Amino acid sequence: MKSYIQEHIDDFLEKNQNKGRLLIKCPDQPGIVSAMSLFLKKNGANIIESNQFTTDHEGGTFFIRMEFECPDLQEKGQVLKEQFEDIADKFSMDWEIHFLHDVKKTAIFVSKELHCLRELLLEWQSGDLMTDIVVVISNHEECREIVESFNIPFYYIPANKDIRKEVEEKQLQLLRDYDVELIVLARYMQILTPEFVAAHKAQIINIHHSFLPAFIGANPHKRAFERGVKLIGATAHYVTNDLDEGPIIEQDIIRVNHRDNVEDLKKKGRSVERSVLARGVKWALEDRLIVYENKTIVL
């Protein structure tokens, strides 16, 4: 299975080997776009896509994502980074350059419920999630068969609050061993420690099975049922040390009514969770997300 997926990756690399993405966050001021455009022009690059946003054109914060194509980018990449430092210093930029020939490596964490994992694997199989899923880690055995059918390394690491530190040491070592750049919690029902989160700041995406900020924490469908809601939803967000309070990436909803019991809500909610998480992960892989305070800017 993975050899088939590798064909998608190889095709992507062939078509995009000379493409890069430049993400910027800085104080809004005149000349930013001009300086970036001139920099790319001087290096023989052509701008393919550009999206920008400012919180306020007078004294606000400016965000921009530029995708560009540049001949011989694999050889020029490090030089571009070094040369851009002068512009970044001039405009007080927080910035990143990503090269599409460096396909991101992703790890998926999952517990017993597998619907989000299945969605991610199917999107990956079809080539719609351009990443290398290098490892799946679970505190249950339920997903072993499906993961290994994709020839992805699977690690079963039992976890509970009493052995959390020991468990996370093993997990963190696996993430280092596989050079993981993005972690997806696909219904992984364990709380991560501050040390784990700090080691992967703005690199951990979680799916919460409610429309945050409503029904934070456990059993949201039961509490939604008791409240008699007419809408339920799901939220993909970055993980922080505050439970379910991290920057929101994507959300969606579905209508429910008085005839739906708790199990009905869970069943309807799963379809929303799958699509919301897949979109959020896709945007992260496409370098469309910039964290600003406790929000995300999606460009």
CA–CA distance, 58 with 222 (Å, rounded to integer): 46
Q: Are 128 and 281 in contact (CB under 8 A)?
A: no
Contacts of 193 (CB under 8 A, 6+ apart): 164, 165, 168
pLDDT in tens, the chain (299 residues): 567 788 989 999 999 999 999 999 999 999 999 999 999 999 999 999 999 999 998 889 999 999 999 999 999 999 999 999 999 999 999 999 999 999 999 999 999 999 999 999 999 999 999 999 999 999 999 999 999 999 999 999 998 888 989 999 999 999 999 999 999 999 999 999 999 999 999 999 999 988 877 777 788 888 888 889 898 899 999 999 988 899 999 999 999 999 989 898 889 899 999 999 999 999 999 999 999 999 999 99
Active-site amino acid positions: 244
pLDDT tens by residue, 207-261: 998 887 777 778 888 888 888 989 889 999 999 998 889 999 999 999 999 998 9
Sheet holding 19-27, edge to edge: 46-54, 61-69, 19-27, 94-99
Asked whether the beta carbons of 85 and 59 are under 8 A apart, the reply is: no
User: Which pTM was predicted?
Assistant: 0.94
Q: What is the pLDDT of residues 50-59, one digit of tens each?
A: 999 999 988 8
